[in-house]
Amino acid sequence: MGTRIYVLDTTLRDGEQSPGFSMTPDEKLRLALQLEKLGVDIIEAGFPASSPSDLQAVQQVAREIKQATVCAFARATKADIDAAFSAIRYAARPRIQTFIATSPIHMEKKLGLKPDEVVRRAAEGVAYAKSFGVEVQFGLEDCMRSDPAFAARVTQAVVDAGATIINVADTVGYATPKEMFDMIRYLMDHVVAPQGVIFSCHCHDDLGMAMANTMAAIEAGCTQVEGTINGIGERAGNAAVEEIAMMLRTRGDYFQYVSGVNSVELFPTSRCLQSITGVGVQPNKAIVGANAFAHEAGIHQDGMLKDRSTYEIMRPQDVGVPETVLVLGKHSGRRALKDKLERMGYQLIDTELDRLFIRFKELADRKKYVTDEDLEAMLLENYQNIGADLFQLVSFQVVSGSGAVPTATVRISLANNNTKQEAASGFGPIEALFKAIDRAIDFTGEVLDFQVRALTIGSSGAAEVSVRVGWRESSAVGRGVSTDLLEACARAYIGAVNRLVLGIQPRLNVAASDGWMESIFRD
Ligand code: MN
């Protein structure tokens, strides 16, 4: 056994705050539960002072997570720390990470503070957080552009004030591995901590160095590393948790370090995040990309056939890549579906199963076989619609072709059980369809992103559509699955609008008043 490296996952904080990755409290909780299954040691669940919805999200995560530590992020101010504590106070293992910038450029230009004042505020912030009786981590923001002697002075002050984890942040992704190594060593050599302190690193990928810098920090003696799933995060993102975990595991011969990550959950966790945000990873993404285990070149394939270890340093099953298997057909029953889902790792409650079974039958009727991938896509569609089914697609018809004006007619069921039919034309059939839906539900959304993915190869394949719909400051992703591309589009669009309404007005009692659309969309 080697040295234990603790993994702090900040997908829900650093990852979530980057454009296109915002999540509702329920989505954050769903990802947090998957992160706990993955075995990360600490889940940084959010920045409670940033918004009431984030405070609620962190609270929800703190209540449900039992194994991992739940951490809340806070500037070194009383108000931020109060919000952080109120969010994590009921966690089984609560932690507050408070931080302040230590580089000359941040202190002068951003904070407008003299170095002495920065030291004082850092120590006061830590002491205040510590007064709540929780574990306190202190982050040196932009540490890698700071004077090492000053960074050590701040670190000594916060350690004396009670911080037990020191996070060295390369906030702007500027450092080289050697600089990272030297900074960690310098702090370790110059800070006196009789009660012991854990050093941590937080690396960004602006120059493609996040992973290399993280490994350098570990070699220097950091026993906590911060990262995100799929490497999402501010700008170019953070070090990717799946890469850190597989690096430690695959090169255990060299590094002698171990993490608590259960590697077979890496791929499912990556997919979970992709399904929530609607943002995929590039095919060549390390560990979780579609091509990460594909061997195309003839010479490689020849080697693989003789002995897989010639070109394969990790096996797809080690990271939980599912094998593509043709599974169910239209004669398969509810029981078979349930069994199959359980073997895939999904436990559904009866109402969820009922709902999925209807969709499964619809798909199986049109398609010869339903694969694992089809089922997963339908499950995601199903998850995304739970609690957000104000509007549902009843029927639709689209007329399109060369020389014709693309026209769509839709019938939508509304929350009050009425249905409404509307028609619209557009430059193309999908635009016509979205406009018809807008008319039926008295809404004008803006399509911010639109993606189509083929679920299975071949003419009977189903398509998965994800659409991000924006309205004023808010946006939400919806997903639709069907053998009919236009139907998938309609389902995805309606799904997004449902979630958008729910996000804007979470406790909306739709039965309560007739003019509810007015009150949400018109004020
Ligand atoms: Mn960051």
**Kind of pairing between the strands at 446-454 and 463-471:** antiparallel
Give the Cα separation of 81 and 403 in Å (integer): 63
CA of 59 to the centre of ligand 1 (A): 22
Contact 199, 184 (CB under 8 A): yes
H/E stretch holding 134 reads: none
Distinct helix (H) and strand (E) counts, the chain: 18, 17
d(CA 11, ligand 1 centre) in Å: 10
In the CATH hierarchy, which fold is given to the domain comprising 387-520? Double Stranded RNA Binding Domain (3.30.160)
CA 233 – ligand 1 centroid, Å:
7
What's this model's pTM, rounded to 2 decimal places?
0.75
CA 69 to ligand 1 centroid distance, Å: 19
Å from CA of 64 to ligand 1 middle: 25
Residue 37 tokens, joined: 């299954």
List the one residue out of 487, 498, 443 whose CA is nearest residue 465.
487
Residue 89 pLDDT: 97
CA of 267 to the centre of ligand 1 (A): 23
How many angstroms does the Cα of residue 235 sit away from the middle of ligand 1?
9
| 314 C-alpha to ligand 1 centroid (Å) | 29
Q: What is d(CA 9, CA 13) in angstroms, rounded to the nearest whole number?
A: 9
- pLDDT for 283: 85
Determine the distance separating the centroid of ligand 1 and the alpha carbon of 258, expressed in angstroms. 24
What is the CA(364)–ligand 1 centre distance, in A? Answer: 45
DSSP letters spanning 40-71? -SEEEEE-GGG-HHHHHHHHHHHHH--SSEEE
357 C-alpha to ligand 1 centroid (Å): 42
Distance CA 58, CA 72 (A): 7
- In this prediction, residue 327 carries a pLDDT of 61
Instruction: Name residue 127's amino acid.
Output: A
User: Which residues, other chains included, contact 515 with Cβ-Cβ below 8 Å and sequence gap of 6+?
Assistant: none
**Under a CB-based contact definition with an 8 Å cutoff, are residues 337 and 357 in contact?**
yes
d(CA 231, CA 239): 5
Confidence at residue 160, expressed as pLDDT on a 0 to 100 scale: 97
**CA of residue 523 to ligand 1 center, whole Å:** 36
From ligand 1's centre to the CA of 141, what distance in Å? 8
What is the C-alpha radius of gyration for the chain, rounded to an integer number of angstroms? 25
Distance 196 CA to ligand 1 centre (A): 25
Give domain limits for the chain. Answer: 3-277, 387-520
* Inter-residue contact 370 to 336 (CB < 8 Å): no
Question: What is the C-alpha separation between 248 and 225, in angstroms, rounded?
Answer: 12
Task: Encode the chain (523 residues) as per-residue pLDDT tens digits.
Answer: 789 999 999 999 999 988 778 888 888 999 999 999 999 999 999 999 999 989 999 999 999 999 999 999 999 999 999 999 999 999 999 999 999 999 999 999 999 999 999 999 999 999 999 999 999 999 999 999 999 999 999 999 999 999 999 999 999 999 999 999 999 999 999 999 988 999 999 999 999 999 999 999 999 999 999 999 999 999 999 999 999 999 999 999 998 999 999 999 999 999 889 878 878 888 899 999 878 887 666 676 677 677 778 878 999 899 998 765 546 777 778 888 887 777 766 777 787 788 888 888 888 887 767 777 778 778 777 765 555 567 889 999 999 999 889 999 999 988 777 889 999 999 999 999 999 999 998 888 899 989 888 776 555 577 888 888 888 777 788 888 888 999 999 999 998 888 777 765 544 444 334 444 555 554 4
For the four alpha carbons of 60, 64, 66 and 67, in that order, the dihedral sign comes to negative
Question: Distance from the CA of 226 to the center of ligand 1, in angstroms?
Answer: 9
- By residue count, the chain amounts to 523
Alpha helices in 191-333 (DSSP H): 210-220, 241-250, 252-255, 266-277, 298-306
CA 393 to centroid of ligand 1, rounded, Å: 41
Q: What is d(CA 287, CA 468) in angstroms, rounded to the nearest whole number? A: 26
CA of 228 to the centre of ligand 1 (A): 10
For the domain made up of 3-277, the CATH class stated in words is alpha beta
Q: Is 307 exposed, middle or buried (0-12, 13-18, 19+ CB in 10 A)?
A: exposed
* Rounded distance between C-alpha atoms, residue 416 and residue 454, angstroms: 35
Give me ligand 1 centre to Cα 369, in Å: 44
By DSSP bridging, strand 474-482 and strand 463-471 are antiparallel
Position 151: which residue type? A
Is 430 exposed, middle or buried, given 0-12, 13-18 or 19+ CB atoms closer than 10 A?
buried
H helix or E strand, kind and range, residue 410 = strand 407-413
Helix (H, G, I), strand (E, B) or coil at 252: helix
Spell out the SS3 assignment of 473-516.
CEEEEEEEEECCHHHHHHHHHHHHHHHHHHHHCCCCCCCCCCCH
